[in-house]
Amino acid sequence: MTADKVQALFNRIAPVYDQLNNSLSFGQHRIWKRMTVKWSGAKLRDTCLDLCCGSGDIAQLLTEKVGRTGQVYGADFSAAQLQVARDRSERRCLKPPIHWVEADVLDLPFADGLFDCATMGYGLRNVTDIPRSLKEIHRVLKSGGKAAILDMHRPENAWVRVFQEWYLDEVVVPMAQRFDFTEEYAYIAPSLDKFPIGSEQIELAYQAGFSRATHYAIAGGTMGVLVIQKE
């Protein structure tokens, strides 16, 4: 899928993105996102970046870690998703307020070494150039900075894989169909077939310049978090 198509897809689903995520994961996505924030190493007074921030869930969690003296940036190339994120954060009157930035992870408008840590939820699988996105994350992180990247994965267990395929075909797509988003969610299965598995992601991270890389399989291997650190 081209970058323009991905951007248009997320602009279209923005109004129901949270509702669908919550229903399709039975609320478990909140746990996975908290795990991601924990693995990012975010702490008081840090400057943090949430990439492909969507409706802003992870960015809001980061504000709890950095406190009033820290800073959180949420970046996404979907203007519609950013508007949802901005509206949600303003209703909560978050401190510190989140800086929302319309930006592509392949060409980030930030200085080198600006961020103490970075997160990304369900974004890496959708970028058109994974190696380039990892290099950009490496560039904007400070020395010693970490990034935690959450996404769906192909499980290694054959039976779990069969269940995942059934769930996507028989639950996810029909539920999305109720909102007239059949095409938008039918793309998930083929995107998983092309997405690098954990060991391949680790190798890509090293190639991008990271000194440490670990991949944690969660939810029976249907989800995973890549944790990477800059030297």
pLDDT confidence of residue 124: 96
What is the pLDDT at residue 206? 98
- pLDDT recorded at residue 29: 85
Please state the domain count of the chain. Answer: 1
What confidence score (pLDDT) does residue 161 get?
A: 92
Low-confidence ranges of the chain (pLDDT < 50): none
The per-residue pLDDT for 14 is 55
Q: Which residues contact 54 (CB under 8 A, 6 or more apart)?
A: 10, 17, 76, 78, 81, 85, 121, 122
Structure tokens at 190: 């083929």
Give me the CATH number covering residue 71: 3.40.50.150
Structural domain for 31, as ranges: 3-229
Supply the pLDDT for residue 174: 86
